A and B are shown apart, each in its own frame.
Chain A
């Protein structure tokens, strides 16, 4: 059996002690007002000092940085240390990164979601790196008896140019730990960045390409049992009776336990528990509505015409605007449920013992998972340790903790260490989907084609507020009404990469294309005019930065050579989400009489780009994701059960279906924002608008391949 390398805090301390000297800098993520501080190795190992993260420089020059945020494929484990290493002027080849376990007293925001890790930590990381650099320079200056101001740093060394002296950080680390830090250290000017903005390869590449055990599913422990869980096949059913006789008699089966509406088959190998599960005889009874997609269609129609909605934003006098309009444009858009489908299905290891609980696995929200486990087991959260593995994707699915709680419940019942594994079918049937939504848009134009009124109603199934009422075009329209309504369903939903905006952006930006056409205006010009209006005569609160939105719009127009490419039909879309701005131009050409999506040009404003390679990956991956689900993704229901159970019917985008993608970043020197999500929302509309330009067919329903307008095009 293989055991994963454990990057526990204890191990880090051990590592720290074994290095024998060097510089240890503790810094605080929880409180920006607390300065980085030199800590003593002895104090570290005996636990008498408590910082929430560390940077160490060993005498051999190796620099170790502790990365607290869960790595989900968003590249944070690489981006964090880049920022520290930049201010430190470290030699990147000598930087090592360790993934920290859950530690709420030490890490304030240990979440992978909402593209929030980078904006949260930027300043603190820079300060840590700059502090370490300060100490090393001070140590060198004191040894050489030269002024600090005459010393420079580069690639892990301090230099004194006029005397020709130089020393590596490792050599200075001991002496540096005896230097005092000032209240403020100077941060670099952006123009002096040498590492930030370059392409740095993923720090885990070697493990990934050689098949090392990095992921939750790769956790194997001595004496560990395996479990699969049978959950009700349909939402709205509960267990009536369980006959596990046949399953228990299968080879390798240790136990079958029922808890709530779940039946866990526990045994000695993954295959044996999967096979035995098929022998379970479970009777179910109705526990709620057994909804089908046809019911949802009816529910959407009712909600769109309901008088019982929640008003999200209201500006001006909408009724008069529509009454006085020269032209009114109305359209409905809809998006289906989607499974998240991270390629690594849900799984978690749990060992519930008398004296405490050990949890190991892939979660985007370790603190929430621990709290939920503590609650169900009735124990204090401090008795639970959570060790994070790399995640084989998440897309929001791993923000829920149902699969962590289940593992703990099964371990408690089995009185053994257990790894609970979801099969792909379990994953697709198991809920926490992106909610299905439908939107009705109405726009009122005056005689000159100005939008004088705008109405948006969002209705969804367990979608909460399916609008983003303060996003564009709010602020640019004098009379505006945004409201929403939702249907409560037994079908469970949860955040899915770029929650709400992943479908709202498509619907809104495709609708604005319709409005621009009705106004007789170029789609980009139309939006720029609106943004100018929002600037000169803003209406109500404006929560997005108008200038940044204008800038990405212009950059996308410029880089795509908007409207000037012969034989290329272009569609535009721009969206602000998760603090970043992304504009895209989809390009369709006609080949053999058929429209073909050839290219998408993206202009991205995420502030300063930390890792060019990572930023490109997130942008391109987000666009492939956005396009793939807009075209193909569809999860439908029959009597509460999904019609799709695996990738044979739930279609994910593949290599033969991707267009070329061209990405341009805005260079504005603004503090960085995240990129895990923002590139996805605009893609659906950029593509749909380009197809419209080429074919006059408007895709108002996702997935596009099943939209009436799409039929006959391919």
Chain B
């Protein structure tokens, strides 16, 4: 175990964990940031999506030891009051059913819109296809990304 220096949501953390611990479990078990979800552990479902230096990344396969000197953003750090345009769109379109995958979906959508504020439907689908929603809310996810894009 060692102290690992992380910068998450503009705050410094020094969790005492093994360097091979995936960021996901450090966030959840050690830092109390439980909005990032576990779904598969092999980067197949996207429930654990966070931003590393602004890019969407699957935190379940990212050893924390590799993340020093990076900027990490989780769902908790996306906005102060849950009012990021993508979060607002998710509420407006009433996307969630069980809601478990939605933090990961939102992080994926934000990463897309930050790079491409006016995506076509195909570009949205292509960016979001790595994120599984077992409840099948895909139609509304797509719609919410379109709604959010209007405010970007």
Contacts and interface: CB of A to CB of B under 8 A. Distances in A.
Interface string B16-32: 01100110010011101
- For B36, B99, B106, B129, the residue with the greatest tally of chain A CB atoms inside 10 Å of its CB is B99
Nearest to A205: B91
Contact of B98 (A391, A423, A655): A391
Given A201-B94, A621-B135, A661-B139, A214 B82 contact: no
A344 B37 contact: yes
Contacts of B33: 211
A655 B128 contact: yes
Task: Please tell me the size bucket of the interface on A.
Answer: 35 or more
B34 A211 contact: yes
Contact of B91 (A209, A271, A421, A625): A209
- For B29, B102, B126, the residue with the greatest tally of chain A CB atoms inside 10 Å of its CB is B29
B44 A343 contact: no
A2 B33 CA distance: 8
Contacts of A656: 125-126, 129
A658 B101 contact: no
Contact of A342 (B42, B79, B98, B138): B98
Interface stretch (A472-480, A567-575, A646-654): A646-654
A79 to B, nearest CB: 13
A319 to B, nearest CB: 45
B34 A213 contact: yes
A206 B82 contact: yes
A621 B137 contact: yes
Contacts of B131: 655
Nearest to B100: A392
Nearest to B74: A211
A624 B132 CA distance: 12
B3 to A, nearest CB: 15
A625 B32 CA distance: 33
A511 to B, nearest CB: 26
A220 interface: yes
Contacts of A205: 90-91, 94, 96
Given A209-B91, A217-B38, A251-B18, A652 B134 contact: yes
Nearest to B21: A271
Q: Main secondary structure on chain A at its contact with chain B?
A: loop
B55 interface: no
A215 interface: yes
Contacts of B54: none
Given A211-B34, A212-B35, A217-B38, A344 B140 contact: no
A555 B100 CA distance: 34
Nearest to B80: A210
Given A220-B32, A424-B41, A613-B94, A210 B82 contact: yes
B91 A393 contact: no
A622 interface: yes
B56 interface: no
- For A2, A208, A345, A652, the residue with the greatest tally of chain B CB atoms inside 10 Å of its CB is A208
B1 interface: yes
B53 interface: no
Contact of A210 (B38, B87, B137): B87
B96 to A, nearest CB: 5
Nearest to A213: B34
Nearest to A341: B134
A393 B100 contact: yes
B98 A209 contact: no
A624 B97 CA distance: 13
Contact of B22 (A1, A271, A628): A271
B118 interface: no
Contacts of B94: 199, 201-202, 205, 613, 617
Interface in A388-427: 390-395, 421, 423-425
A209 B128 contact: no
B99 A390 contact: yes
B98 A72 contact: yes
A343 B39 contact: yes
Contact of B106 (A73, A209, A424): A209
Interface string A195-226: 00001011011111111111101101000001
A646 B140 CA distance: 26
Contacts of A63: none
A205 B73 CA distance: 21
B113 interface: no
A505 interface: no
A485 interface: no
Contacts of A373: none
A270 interface: yes
A623 B75 contact: no
A620 interface: yes
Contacts of B82: 206, 209-210
A72 B96 CA distance: 11
Contacts of B140: 617
Interface string B65-104: 0000000001110110010000100111010111111110
A567 to B, nearest CB: 22
A304 B137 CA distance: 38
B57 interface: no
Nearest to A623: B136
Given A201-B91, A341-B134, A621-B136, A655 B125 contact: yes
Contacts of B138: 624, 654-655, 658
Contacts of A211: 33-36, 74-76, 103
Interface in A282-306: none
A343 B134 contact: yes
Contacts of A494: none
A431 interface: no
A620 B136 contact: yes
A211 B133 CA distance: 16
Contacts of B99: 73, 202, 204, 207-208, 214, 390, 392
Interface in A176-207: 199, 201-202, 204-207
Given A2-B34, A269-B30, A655-B141, A209 B134 contact: no
Contacts of B90: 205, 208-209
Considering the complex of A and B, which 6 residue pairs feature the smallest CB-CB distances, nearest first? A211-B35, A73-B98, A624-B136, A392-B100, A211-B75, A208-B99
Given A269-B21, A625-B136, 18 more contacts: A205-B91, A207-B99, A208-B99, A209-B90, A209-B103, A210-B75, A211-B36, A211-B76, A217-B37, A345-B39, A393-B134, A423-B41, A424-B41, A623-B136, A647-B44, A648-B44, A656-B126, A658-B139
Interface of A: 1-2, 72-75, 199, 201-202, 204-215, 217-218, 220, 226, 251, 269-272, 341-345, 390-395, 421, 423-425, 613, 617-618, 620-625, 628, 646-648, 652-656, 658, 660-661
Interface of B: 1, 17-18, 21-22, 25, 28-30, 32-42, 44-45, 47, 74-76, 78-79, 82, 87, 90-92, 94, 96-103, 106, 125-126, 128-142
19 contacts: A1-B32, A74-B97, A205-B96, A209-B102, A220-B34, A269-B17, A270-B29, A271-B25, A343-B39, A343-B47, A343-B101, A345-B39, A392-B98, A392-B99, A425-B41, A620-B139, A621-B136, A653-B136, A656-B129
